[in-house]
Structure 1
Amino acid sequence: MNPEPSPLVVHLTDDAATALFGEDLLLALQIGDCVALDGDLGAGKSTLSRAFIRALADDPDLEVPSPTFTLVQNYDLKIPVAHFDLYRLSDPSELDELGLEEALADGICLLEWPGKAGRALPKNRIEIQFQFASDGGRDLVIHAPEAKLARLRRVDEIRRFLQTNGYGDAHRRHLTGDASNRAYEHINPADGSARLVLMDAPKRPNGPPIRDGKPYSQLVHLAEDVRPFVAIGQALRQRSFAAPEVLAQDLDAGLLLLEDLGEDGVLDAQGKPIAERYRASAACLAAIHDTPFDREIVIPGGHRHTIPDFDRAAMKFEVELLLDWHLPWKRGGQSATAEERSRFLAIWDQLIDELAGSDTSIVMRDFHSPNIIWRDARQGHDRVGLIDFQDAMIGPSAYDLVSLVQDARVTIERPLMDQLMADYLTARAKKPDFKEAAFLKSWAIMSAQRACKLNGLWVRLKERDGKPGYMRHLPRTLWHLSVAFEHPVLAPLRNWCIEAGIELPESPA
């Protein structure tokens, strides 16, 4: 039997600190969490609850009445919240009538005076005990299952990181997360100064060894901590490209406080590409690829980051996602035969051989709409803000152009795709050693490589990780594969796909 984890103890100096903790608590909770708030009158339970609900509503003036007489107050927010006050509860059985179980099914419950509930509360609840402290503040003693307690420890660690760096009174709001272990927050300083962004990226845990004793992240050269982000961002800024400045850092904890480049992107309100912004992004990308980068970068503190190569092993391991996930899904569970796998990998060995002597540069890896910030007030390449570049490699420059013009998450119609290709090629042609025909061949190969990876990845996210939403991109990335097949160098792979039964649409619809 596992021992109960040690409680988390948080000291709060006053009501303002209690309200901030209520806001921070929002960043740690998930649907289905029940938070039992226990303590004497005036200890801060209602202060915390009001701050939590107002933060979730993003409305500091929202009326949050005490549910003392109604027993429960429900808030229909982006995550529903039920605020219970059980002080007047006559019998624990009344909780069924109040709808506790239903509220937890699709929302979060904050529950004051939990002692009145007897054994009716969920066993996996979060218990917060409010205790008066000798300095006039209060101590919170928090008990919870380890997985929930880990979330609470992390938000407390971030608050202490902000305090250390002069932003202890800042208001935090969730910004976004991605398919990795990274999350982002908006940090709003209490003095009204410019908003910042916090990157929360704890060191990536190594998965099981898959090949040659290495986990997946090492095989395909994914960043395992925040140091590559700091290094690549520093190199970009030194070359006058718009990567966010790092204002504070705890490299071991995986916490970075960053300049906020803004919220505008390259898509309109309907999620369609804005041609002017995409064209400016293509010009910026051409400039990046025409700029030399040192392979080894030294960042403050003396850490050295070596930009890895986009090598044969990484390319082949990524395309195998098509074999391992897409093909069995397409065939109702039937895997590729040994002969099919052997032919597929042999074809890719030949295609990678064709890349010999191709134009190489730093490869940002995911140069597409989610990672491009539009800065309308700036000029030239400074209009194109760059984020999410920690997985950068040295490899065929064509890969980044594929990422842009064949955006995995947004349909770039063929006329705009062709325009972006022409813009990029015109910019690169100013260099006398740039060979367009060789570049277009490498573009087709890298287009197929990226499409094979993605068409397997969407299925893996659905089947293994329980994230079916990514499957909406599948028709688009299958179309991208068919576009790559227009180049004659891809004929063997095209024939393999046809024989394997992989359907290639003529459009992204």
Structure 2
Amino acid sequence: MTTLPDGIEQFLSQSGWGGAKIEAIPGDASFRRYFRIRRARETAMLMYAPPPEEDPRPFVQVAQWLLANDMRAPKLLAQDLDAGWLLTEDFGDDRMREWVESRPDSEEAIYAQAIDALVQLHQKPAGPLDPYDMTVYQREAGLLTEWYTPAMGLEVDNERYRAAWHEVLAPLIMRQVPGVTVLRDYHAENIMILGQSGIRDGEQGLIDFQDALVGHPAYDLVSLLQDARRDVSPELERAMLERYIAGANPGPDFEADYAILGAQRNAKIVGIFTRLHKRDGKPRYLGYIPRVWALMEGDLEHPALAPVAAWFDANIPDDLRKYGGGTIE
């Protein structure tokens, strides 16, 4: 039986949902917890983001901006942000990942709709958010050498790693000005298929965007098309990349920047999934690392990543790379 957080009934009562049925929803890789609230035919989604580990304010800020700019974020129904409570519209259970896997004929249309949403988002001035700057890029890429390489017993050249990334990222950062709103976790488990008829008359809803920044338009495209949690065929990736380029006309260096951010994001994810196992006791994410590693290897083949690729060649043994990053104990 799931233990309910203290104060949940009081918050629901104050929000006009007193006496409603509370159903726990399986959580993600964070400290946040989710509950579906039911009364008669109505439902709502309750997020509990307990301080000091979590803060629901960034989610609220980004949601308000997305809603004001005609993007499909969940509507905000009630909140007690100091205590970590946020009640929102319920987008249901139909995540893009499971929808596509149970209806493979819908895959191209579903992805096309997700690409078109990015084109729409990137046509708007960026939200009032912090910049995706060199400090953030480097901190994220550094998760690989902070967590993965020690877990594998590797002694690597950390200074040269940072220098290689700086060389690769510096021109990209100049090209990302003025920047777009980057949701940062735009993938098949964070896009919801809304409505009973799905793609025919439903929308796609956005969730898990509380870490949004102002950055490069290729980042969310990489998140979607180089998905850590499901295989996206090279043919579909290519078709959707071309669809985005046709819709957004992003400039001549876009595919180079796509590869750079693919490698940066995938290096980050290898580090995060290792940390989830070593620090947080969540080993289930280790199973995704071979897919992420293979995606990163593909990105490293782009000439724009030559300094970073050279670092990998010098610091990560071939046998580990050949087997998807090796086995983490």
On the 8 A contact 2:45/2:87 being kept in 1, the answer is yes
Other structure's SS at 1:172 match: strand
TM-score with structure 1 setting the length: 0.59
The structural deviation recorded for 1:382 is 6.9
Give unmatched runs, 5+ long, in structure 1.
1-25, 29-151, 206-223, 296-306
Identity percentage of aligned residues: 35
C-alpha separation in 1, matches of 2:304 and 2:52: 37
C-alpha separation in 2, matches of 1:160 and 1:229: 22
Q: Which letter does structure 1 place at the counterpart of 2:194?
A: R
The structural deviation recorded for 1:426 is 1.1
On the 8 A contact 1:186/1:195 being kept in 2, the answer is yes
C-alpha separation in 1, matches of 2:30 and 2:134: 23
On the 8 A contact 2:96/2:190 being kept in 1, the answer is no
C-alpha separation in 2, matches of 1:393 and 1:489: 24
On the 8 A contact 2:168/2:307 being kept in 1, the answer is no
**Corresponding residue for 1:370?**
189
Give unmatched runs, 5+ long, in structure 2.
none
- The reply on whether 1:386 has 2:236 as its aligned counterpart is no
Which of 100, 109, 112 is the equivalent residue of 1:279? 112
- The reply on whether 1:159 has 2:134 as its aligned counterpart is no
Which of 24, 28, 38 is the equivalent residue of 1:178? 28
- Give CA deviations for 1:227-282 in whole Å, capped at 9, x if unaligned: 11111111111111110001111111111111112221223468477232122101
- The reply on whether 1:258 has 2:78 as its aligned counterpart is no
The structural deviation recorded for 1:204 is 3.6
C-alpha separation in 2, matches of 1:284 and 1:389: 14
Other structure's SS at 2:222 match: helix
**In the superposition, relative to structure 1, how do residues 165 and 269 fare at CA in structure 2: closer, same or farther (>3 Å)?**
closer
C-alpha separation in 2, matches of 1:160 and 1:314: 39
Which of 225, 235, 238 is the equivalent residue of 2:55? 225
**Corresponding residue for 2:226?**
406
Which of 112, 122, 130 is the equivalent residue of 1:308? 130
Other structure's SS at 1:187 match: strand
User: After TM superposition, where is structure 1 displaced by more than 6 Å over at least 4 residues in a row?
Assistant: 378-382
C-alpha separation in 1, matches of 2:169 and 2:120: 25
On the 8 A contact 1:478/1:505 being kept in 2, the answer is no
Q: Which letter does structure 2 place at the counterpart of 1:383?
A: E
**Corresponding residue for 1:473?**
288
- The reply on whether 1:358 has 2:175 as its aligned counterpart is yes
- The reply on whether 1:322 has 2:144 as its aligned counterpart is yes
**In the superposition, relative to structure 1, how do residues 290 and 264 fare at CA in structure 2: closer, same or farther (>3 Å)?**
same
**Corresponding residue for 1:200?**
48
Q: Which letter does structure 2 place at the counterpart of 1:365?
A: R
Q: Number of residue pairs matched?
A: 317
On the 8 A contact 2:47/2:85 being kept in 1, the answer is yes
Q: Which letter does structure 2 place at the counterpart of 1:182?
A: R
The structural deviation recorded for 1:284 is 0.6
Other structure's SS at 1:267 match: helix
Other structure's SS at 1:292 match: coil
On the 8 A contact 1:365/1:399 being kept in 2, the answer is yes
Q: Which letter does structure 1 place at the counterpart of 2:192?
A: I
**In the superposition, relative to structure 1, how do residues 364 and 418 fare at CA in structure 2: closer, same or farther (>3 Å)?**
same
Alpha-carbon RMSD across the aligned residues, in angstroms, is 2.3
On the 8 A contact 2:256/2:302 being kept in 1, the answer is yes
The structural deviation recorded for 1:379 is 7.9
Other structure's SS at 1:198 match: strand
**Corresponding residue for 1:427?**
247
On the 8 A contact 1:27/1:173 being kept in 2, the answer is no
Which of 163, 167, 183 is the equivalent residue of 1:346? 163
On the 8 A contact 1:475/1:505 being kept in 2, the answer is no
C-alpha separation in 2, matches of 1:313 and 1:356: 11
On the 8 A contact 2:96/2:193 being kept in 1, the answer is yes
The structural deviation recorded for 1:193 is 2.9
On the 8 A contact 1:321/1:456 being kept in 2, the answer is yes
**In the superposition, relative to structure 1, how do residues 233 and 382 fare at CA in structure 2: closer, same or farther (>3 Å)?**
farther
On the 8 A contact 2:109/2:199 being kept in 1, the answer is no
Which of 415, 428, 434 is the equivalent residue of 2:235? 415
| Match runs of 1:70-109 below 5 Å | none
**In the superposition, relative to structure 1, how do residues 294 and 268 fare at CA in structure 2: closer, same or farther (>3 Å)?**
closer
On the 8 A contact 2:99/2:193 being kept in 1, the answer is no
Other structure's SS at 1:309 match: coil
**In the superposition, relative to structure 1, how do residues 392 and 498 fare at CA in structure 2: closer, same or farther (>3 Å)?**
same
Other structure's SS at 2:7 match: helix
On the 8 A contact 2:290/2:323 being kept in 1, the answer is no
On the 8 A contact 1:358/1:439 being kept in 2, the answer is no
C-alpha separation in 1, matches of 2:113 and 2:127: 25
Other structure's SS at 2:70 match: coil
C-alpha separation in 1, matches of 2:243 and 2:131: 27
**Corresponding residue for 1:439?**
254
**Of 453-462 and 386-395, the range deviating more from structure 2:** 453-462
- Give CA deviations for 1:413-450 in whole Å, capped at 9, x if unaligned: 11111111111111102xxxx31x22212211111110
The structural deviation recorded for 1:294 is 3.8
**In the superposition, relative to structure 1, how do residues 383 and 505 fare at CA in structure 2: closer, same or farther (>3 Å)?**
farther
Other structure's SS at 1:202 match: coil
| Match runs of 1:42-53 below 5 Å | none
- Give CA deviations for 1:482-505 in whole Å, capped at 9, x if unaligned: 121232011121121122125445
C-alpha separation in 2, matches of 1:352 and 1:269: 35
The structural deviation recorded for 1:507 is 9.1
Q: Please identify the structure whose Cα radius of gyration is greater.
A: 1
| Match runs of 1:286-305 below 5 Å | 286-295=119-128
